[in-house]
Amino acid sequence: MTSISIIHNPRCSKSRQTLALLEEKGIQPVVIEYLKTPLTIDALKDIYTKLNIDSVRDMMRTKEDEYKAANLSDTNITDEALFEAMATTPKLLERPIVIHGDNARIGRPPEAVLEIL
Protein backbone atom coordinates (compact mmCIF):
# COMPACT_ATOMS: atom_id res chain seq x y z
CA MET A 1 0.00 0.00 0.00
CA THR A 2 1.27 3.45 -0.91
CA SER A 3 1.83 5.73 2.04
CA ILE A 4 -0.15 8.93 2.37
CA SER A 5 1.46 12.20 3.43
CA ILE A 6 0.02 15.52 4.47
CA ILE A 7 1.82 18.84 4.16
CA HIS A 8 0.50 20.25 7.41
CA ASN A 9 0.37 23.38 9.52
CA PRO A 10 -1.15 22.55 12.92
CA ARG A 11 -2.15 26.20 13.41
CA CYS A 12 -4.35 26.14 10.28
CA SER A 13 -7.97 25.07 10.79
CA LYS A 14 -8.30 23.59 7.26
CA SER A 15 -5.11 21.63 7.80
CA ARG A 16 -6.37 20.27 11.14
CA GLN A 17 -9.75 19.42 9.58
CA THR A 18 -8.08 17.58 6.70
CA LEU A 19 -5.85 15.59 9.06
CA ALA A 20 -8.90 14.71 11.19
CA LEU A 21 -10.80 13.62 8.06
CA LEU A 22 -7.97 11.27 7.09
CA GLU A 23 -7.84 9.86 10.60
CA GLU A 24 -11.63 9.33 10.58
CA LYS A 25 -11.08 7.21 7.44
CA GLY A 26 -8.56 5.09 9.35
CA ILE A 27 -5.58 6.68 7.61
CA GLN A 28 -2.50 7.62 9.63
CA PRO A 29 -0.61 9.84 7.18
CA VAL A 30 3.01 10.86 7.35
CA VAL A 31 2.72 14.40 8.72
CA ILE A 32 5.14 16.91 7.24
CA GLU A 33 5.15 20.17 9.18
CA TYR A 34 6.56 22.25 6.34
CA LEU A 35 7.08 25.36 8.47
CA LYS A 36 9.48 23.39 10.72
CA THR A 37 11.03 21.42 7.86
CA PRO A 38 10.81 23.50 4.67
CA LEU A 39 10.45 21.61 1.41
CA THR A 40 13.19 21.67 -1.20
CA ILE A 41 12.63 23.10 -4.66
CA ASP A 42 12.71 19.55 -6.07
CA ALA A 43 10.07 18.40 -3.55
CA LEU A 44 7.87 21.38 -4.43
CA LYS A 45 8.19 20.62 -8.14
CA ASP A 46 7.25 17.00 -7.49
CA ILE A 47 4.16 18.08 -5.54
CA TYR A 48 3.23 20.53 -8.30
CA THR A 49 3.31 17.71 -10.86
CA LYS A 50 1.18 15.48 -8.62
CA LEU A 51 -1.36 18.27 -8.03
CA ASN A 52 -2.05 18.45 -11.79
CA ILE A 53 -2.87 22.17 -11.60
CA ASP A 54 -2.51 24.87 -14.24
CA SER A 55 -0.12 27.25 -12.53
CA VAL A 56 2.51 27.20 -9.81
CA ARG A 57 0.61 30.10 -8.25
CA ASP A 58 -2.32 27.70 -7.67
CA MET A 59 -0.24 26.08 -4.92
CA MET A 60 0.68 29.40 -3.33
CA ARG A 61 -0.95 31.56 -0.69
CA THR A 62 -1.32 34.62 -2.88
CA LYS A 63 -2.90 36.77 -0.16
CA GLU A 64 0.09 36.57 2.19
CA ASP A 65 1.97 39.80 2.85
CA GLU A 66 5.21 38.09 1.79
CA TYR A 67 3.68 37.27 -1.62
CA LYS A 68 2.67 40.88 -2.13
CA ALA A 69 5.93 42.32 -0.77
CA ALA A 70 7.97 40.19 -3.19
CA ASN A 71 5.68 41.22 -6.07
CA LEU A 72 5.15 37.54 -6.93
CA SER A 73 1.97 38.34 -8.86
CA ASP A 74 4.16 39.83 -11.61
CA THR A 75 3.50 37.61 -14.62
CA ASN A 76 7.13 37.99 -15.74
CA ILE A 77 8.32 36.00 -12.73
CA THR A 78 9.37 32.50 -13.76
CA ASP A 79 8.03 29.30 -12.25
CA GLU A 80 11.56 28.61 -11.04
CA ALA A 81 11.52 31.88 -9.08
CA LEU A 82 8.12 30.97 -7.59
CA PHE A 83 9.43 27.56 -6.45
CA GLU A 84 12.45 29.30 -4.95
CA ALA A 85 10.17 31.73 -3.11
CA MET A 86 8.18 28.85 -1.60
CA ALA A 87 11.38 27.04 -0.61
CA THR A 88 12.82 30.08 1.12
CA THR A 89 9.50 31.34 2.53
CA PRO A 90 7.50 28.18 3.33
CA LYS A 91 4.55 30.27 4.53
CA LEU A 92 3.78 30.90 0.83
CA LEU A 93 2.86 27.25 0.23
CA GLU A 94 -0.88 26.57 0.26
CA ARG A 95 -1.90 24.00 2.83
CA PRO A 96 -2.84 21.38 3.53
CA ILE A 97 -1.70 19.18 0.67
CA VAL A 98 -2.33 15.44 0.79
CA ILE A 99 -0.10 13.22 -1.32
CA HIS A 100 -0.98 9.65 -2.24
CA GLY A 101 1.30 7.96 -4.77
CA ASP A 102 1.40 10.02 -7.96
CA ASN A 103 -1.53 12.20 -6.93
CA ALA A 104 -1.94 15.16 -4.62
CA ARG A 105 -4.76 17.51 -3.68
CA ILE A 106 -5.01 20.73 -1.74
CA GLY A 107 -7.43 20.28 1.15
CA ARG A 108 -9.57 23.31 0.44
CA PRO A 109 -12.18 22.18 1.22
CA PRO A 110 -10.82 19.25 3.25
CA GLU A 111 -13.09 16.80 1.39
CA ALA A 112 -11.20 17.53 -1.85
CA VAL A 113 -8.50 15.12 -0.75
CA LEU A 114 -10.92 12.17 -0.69
CA GLU A 115 -10.79 11.82 -4.47
CA ILE A 116 -7.19 10.58 -4.37
CA LEU A 117 -7.55 8.05 -1.53
**Residues taking part in catalysis:** 12
H helix count then E strand count, the chain: 4, 4
**With the C-alpha atoms ordered 86, 88, 89, 90, is the resulting torsion angle positive or negative?**
positive
Residues whose CB falls within 8 Å of the CB of residue 97, separated by 6 or more in sequence, listed in order: 6, 7, 47, 51, 59, 104, 105, 106, 107
For 8-20, give one letter per residue: b (16+ CB within 10 A) or e.
Answer: bbeeeebbebbbe
Q: 75: helix, coil or strand?
A: coil
